[in-house]
Amino acid sequence: MNPIEEIFPVLAAPKKVIITMHQKPDPDAMGSSLALYHLLVQLGHSVTVVSPTNWPAFLNWMPGCEDVLDYENNRQREKIYESLMNADLLFCLDFNAISRAKHFAAPIKASSCKKILIDHHQQPETASFDYGISDTSKSSTSEMIYNFIWNGGYRDKMNTSIAECLYAGVMGDTGSFRYASASESVHRMIADLKALGLKHTPVHDNIYDNFLENRLRFLGHVLLNRMQVFYEYNTALISVPKTDLLKFEIRTGDTEGLVNFPLTIQGIKMAAICIDRDEERKWSFRSKGEFDVNTFARNYFEGGGHYNAAGGHSSESLEKTIHRFKEALKENASQLQ
């Protein structure tokens, strides 16, 4: 993978560009992608943004979101194939293994255009990319796009649309500026975005105060009836069967953030949630301090992510995958106690 700086001269002439992100995008994936979109359009490129799957409704307010194509939407597939066939450049944001693009992974692999990685997750598959930057010390891909804009000399293109998208991404990935990754440079970046005219309160409201009643009822039900605490392993687990998802009419995004609640219990080092989705059992892991959930997710659930926040999946039944989790707790007892 060549250094990201080498892409700046390539961008000096108009190009056909695709920007994509990881499946089920979060505020950082969508925010960084749309910020880059707004930059590249101003630079005169022809840009298509593709999400491998649908996304939570709480991202729809983002400027440019109405133009994002969904690979799982059959009516948009032809357009996506056509864009991919003609593309010069494909930017992959907020993921570092092509498989994280779900069914969009195969067409990406088959495409002959130059691939560019901008990401902050651990263990990047750098061989899959022609240019890029992978920096696990960064709070978010949105912070990296902010740096990309500065380093490329595109500072004059920064506007409030870009600022809102980047703010949402950094806010999402730092737990609203709470985690250690909310560094001095992150706060300086936000100060700069504020100086540009960013109004940050609506961004919080749009993302965190924008659910339907059923999601809050679901949260109450799940915390009361679906949470187990294993004090001997300083771990809490929430498992959500399909019947709950149907009963509470749960949509993409409604389960986001649930995994953080058990971490508020005194002494808990790891929180996990397993959701019985149609196609797979989807895991989210969070930890405090010294327990490495990236490695845990990689070892047991074909996943990965960051040291304190990771995800994974399993094709086994909910019952079997929960059993597997409990076995994994035993095997990791010495690090959890």
Of 41 and 97, which CB lies nearer to ligand 5GP in the complex structure?
97
119 counts as binding Mn ion under rule CB under 5 A: no
256 counts as binding Mn ion under rule CB under 5 A: no
Contact by Cβ (8 Å): 4, 124: no
Of 203 and 293, which CB lies nearer to ligand 5GP in the complex structure?
293
Stretch that binds Mn ion, among 173-181, 218-226, 271-279, 299-307 (CB under 5 A): 173-181
User: What whole-number distance in Å separates Cα of residue 28 and Cα of residue 131?
Assistant: 21
Within 208-237, which residues bind Mn ion (CB under 5 A)?
A: none
269 to 308: interface string for Mn ion, x by CB under 5 A: ----------------------------------------
**Which of 143, 164, 173, 244 forms a contact with Mn ion (CB under 5 A)?**
173
- Contact set with ligand 5GP (CB under 6 A): 22, 26, 97, 100, 121, 284, 303-306, 309-313
63 to 82: interface string for Mn ion, x by CB under 5 A: --------------------
Within 1-40, which residues bind Mn ion (CB under 5 A)?
A: 28
Of 18 and 310, which CB lies nearer to ligand 5GP in the complex structure?
310
Secondary element (H or E) of residue 118: strand 114-119
Please choose which of ligand 5GP, Mn ion, none residue 43 contacts, taking the beta carbon within 5 to 8 angstroms, the exact cut-off set by kind: none
Nearest approach, Cβ of residue 115 and ligand 5GP (Å): 17
Please choose which of Mn ion, ligand 5GP, none residue 174 contacts, taking the beta carbon within 5 to 8 angstroms, the exact cut-off set by kind: none
94 counts as binding Mn ion under rule CB under 5 A: yes
User: What whole-number distance in Å separates Cα of residue 52 and Cα of residue 22?
Assistant: 7
Side chain identity, residue 246: L
Query: HSE on the CB side for 180, CA within 13 Å?
Result: 9
User: What whole-number distance in Å separates Cα of residue 263 and Cα of residue 252?
Assistant: 22
Of 83 and 314, which CB lies nearer to ligand 5GP in the complex structure?
314
Secondary element (H or E) of residue 2: strand 2-3
Can you name the residues that pair with 250 across neighbouring β-strands?
none
DSSP letters spanning 223-243: HHHSEEEEGGGTEEEEEE-HH
Nearest approach, Cβ of residue 197 and ligand 5GP (Å): 29
Contact by Cβ (8 Å): 294, 307: yes
131 to 150: interface string for Mn ion, x by CB under 5 A: ---------xx---------
User: What whole-number distance in Å separates Cα of residue 190 and Cα of residue 12?
Assistant: 28
Stretch that binds Mn ion, among 62-70, 90-98, 190-198, 247-255 (CB under 5 A): 90-98
In Å, how far are 35, 89, 104, 165 from 71, measured between CA atoms?
20, 18, 7, 21
Nearest approach, Cβ of residue 327 and ligand 5GP (Å): 20
Contact by Cβ (8 Å): 145, 35: yes
Q: Strands, E, within the chain: which ranges? A: 2-3, 16-21, 46-51, 69-70, 89-93, 114-119, 131-134, 227-230, 235-240, 270-276, 281-287, 304-305, 309-314
Please choose which of Mn ion, ligand 5GP, none residue 254 contacts, taking the beta carbon within 5 to 8 angstroms, the exact cut-off set by kind: none
In this structure, what DSSP letter does residue 140 have? -
| Sign of torsion over alpha carbons 177, 51, 208, 277 | negative
The pair phi, psi for residue 89, each rounded to 5°, is -135, 140
Of 139 and 321, which CB lies nearer to Mn ion in the complex structure?
139
* Nearest residue to Mn ion, by Cβ distance, number only: 28
Please choose which of ligand 5GP, Mn ion, none residue 303 contacts, taking the beta carbon within 5 to 8 angstroms, the exact cut-off set by kind: ligand 5GP
| CA trace torsion 113, 311, 35, 88 (10° rounding) | 0
Query: Rule CB under 5 A: which residues touch Mn ion?
Result: 28, 94, 140-141, 173
